[in-house]
Amino acid sequence: MAVLDLGVKPSSEGSSDAGSRRLSPAAARGLVYDAAVKAETDHLYEIVRHVISPLEWPAYAPLIAAINRLKKERDAVILAHNYMTAEIFNCVGDFRGDSLGLAREAAKVSAKVIVQGGVHFMAETSKILSPDKTVLIPSLKAGCSLAASITGADVRLIKARYPGLPVVTYVNTTAEVKAESDICCTSSNAIQVVETIAKEWGVDQVIMLPDEYLAKNVAAQTGIKIISWKGKCEVHERFTADDIAEIRASHPGAIILAHPECPPEVVAASDFTGSTGAMSDYVEDYKPQKVVLITECSMSDNVAVANPDVEFIKPCNLCPHMKVITLEAIYDALKEMRYEVEVDPDIAARAKQAVDAMLAIPPAPAGKFDPTRHVPDSLELI
Ligand code: SF4
């Protein structure tokens, strides 16, 4: 196992399954689907029956019931990212959404314990915004290819090479990288943040790290010259313009929504580009007959739960990091209060300034990607 340097306590991850590999995850933990569990969870099955079959449910329900009981005992909440599987997102998640939404909830929540249904950089952000709370990440393997692409030392070198330019850092980065930045952004507010910081600093050029494709897509919307880094999301970089053409040929009339971490040619071939939150809003607002979400696979199931009349075509790219967050990992995290995420106080204080600078910018429709707006972009990659 590649153990990330996450500032977490040493692990015995997966030990609950040792010696009981032939049992289901629930049974291996002494949890069964009985009449009491059925009564406790039937109302939750009604929510997800569109995407989880009756045959699968008895495997999930005992863990869901146990997690919801443990949450009360521990005074805990679960922040569920849009890429969590449907049983986590809908049945144990207390707050659901994209990175920005969860970061805001983490700042407001009164519970003593936060369990991050997402990857490590998100848990760090929760800890940065809620330093007095216990923040748990259910698996030490929940990293991110994008976050791993750049270090704080890299950012210091970039700043030395381009003095006087603001550094905008995507939230999909470590606390150490955020600490070296002037402001953070998410995929939902990237355009808005870049335009705001360029105006505030009186510059026509910004450093935007570390996602090459997000930077290029933002440059194409704003005309602001962007210096970026060759980081990529291993889920979104796999989509191609040929994939989009194939989907259009085999599913005529389908509306294609793409995430801005996708390559620019994918964005150009799609009908709409936006964050996970913006894609979800698009489906809610326009109720297309057929839709394709060019993003992580679980997102389609989660949006489908709220939109049962919309047909979802699912080109399935899974994030291996998100997918290590399972019901059993969440159960073990709450039962054993593991793995606690710590952030060095000095790094946390500096990272918080960058996150707070982002949160201080009010959401605005102008921050959305506009499919009709394509200006010649200027991108320099380091
Ligand atoms: S989907 Fe991409 S950006 Fe998100 S956690 Fe996975 S690798 Fe990182």
Confidence of residue 22 (pLDDT cuts 50, 70, 90): confident
**Is the C-beta atom of 307 inside 6 A of ligand 1?**
no
Closest ligand 1 atom to residue 319 Cα is 6
Exposed e or buried b per residue across 252-268, where buried means at least 16 C-beta atoms within 10 angstroms of its C-beta: eebbbbbbbbbbbebbb
pLDDT at 129 over 50: yes
Cβ neighbours, 10 Å, residue 247:
18
Percent above pLDDT 70 for the chain: 90
Asked if the domains 148-234+361-381 and 236-313 are classified in one and the same CATH topology, the answer is yes
**Is the C-beta atom of 233 inside 6 A of ligand 1?**
yes
State both tokens at 102: 């969860």
Closest ligand 1 atom to residue 144 Cα is 8
Answer yes or no: CATH 3.40.50.10800 is held by domain 148-234+361-381.
yes
pLDDT at 5 over 70: no
Helix residue spans in the chain (DSSP H): 25-28, 35-48, 57-74, 86-91, 99-108, 120-129, 152-161, 175-179, 190-201, 212-222, 241-250, 264-269, 276-286, 298-306, 327-336, 345-359
Residues 6+ apart with CB under 8 A from 20: 27, 28
**Is the C-beta atom of 322 inside 6 A of ligand 1?**
yes
Q: What is the pLDDT of residue 374?
A: 63
DSSP state of 367: G
Percent above pLDDT 90 for the chain: 80
Higher pLDDT, 99 or 34: 34
Q: What is the pLDDT of residue 90?
A: 97
**Is the C-beta atom of 123 inside 6 A of ligand 1?**
no
Higher pLDDT, 241 or 1: 241
Report the C-alpha gap between 186 and 63 in whole angstroms.
32
Q: Which of these ranges, 5-9, 207-211, 229-233, 296-300, has the smallest mean pLDDT? A: 5-9
| Residue pLDDT, tens place only, 161-194 | 999 999 999 999 999 999 999 999 999 889 999 9
Chain Cα centroid distance, residue 125:
12
Report the C-alpha gap between 252 and 264 in whole angstroms.
22
| Residue pLDDT, tens place only, 278-293 | 899 999 999 999 999 9
Per domain, the residue ranges of the chain are 4-145+321-336, 148-234+361-381, 236-313
Q: Residue 223: left if φ>0, alpha if ψ -120 to 50, beta else—which one? A: left
Q: Are 351 and 173 in contact (CB under 8 A)?
A: no
CATH number of 4-145+321-336: 3.40.50.10800
pLDDT at 18 over 70: no
- The structure's pTM equals 0.90
Distance, CA 30 to ligand 1 centroid (Å)? Answer: 33
SS3 state of residue 216: helix
Q: Tell me the CATH number of domain 236-313, given options 3.40.50.300, 3.40.50.10800, 3.40.50.2300, 1.10.3720.10.
A: 3.40.50.10800
Please return the burial class of 354, using the count of CB atoms within 10 Å of its CB with bins 0-12, 13-18 and 19+. buried
Higher pLDDT, 276 or 14: 276
State both tokens at 343: 């952030």
Q: What share of the chain is helix, strand, coil (3-state, %, to 5)?
A: 45, 15, 40
Q: What is the pLDDT of residue 4?
A: 43
- Nearest residue CA, atom 3 of ligand 1? 233
Cβ neighbours, 10 Å, residue 325:
27
Q: What is the pLDDT of residue 373?
A: 64
| Residue pLDDT, tens place only, 38-56 | 999 999 999 999 999 999 9
Mean pLDDT estimate for the chain? 91
**Is the C-beta atom of 31 inside 6 A of ligand 1?**
no
Which mutation among 322, 323, 324, 325 tests ligand 1's pocket best, with the greatest number of atoms within 8 A of CB? 322
- Nearest residue CA, atom 8 of ligand 1? 144
Q: What is the pLDDT of residue 381?
A: 81
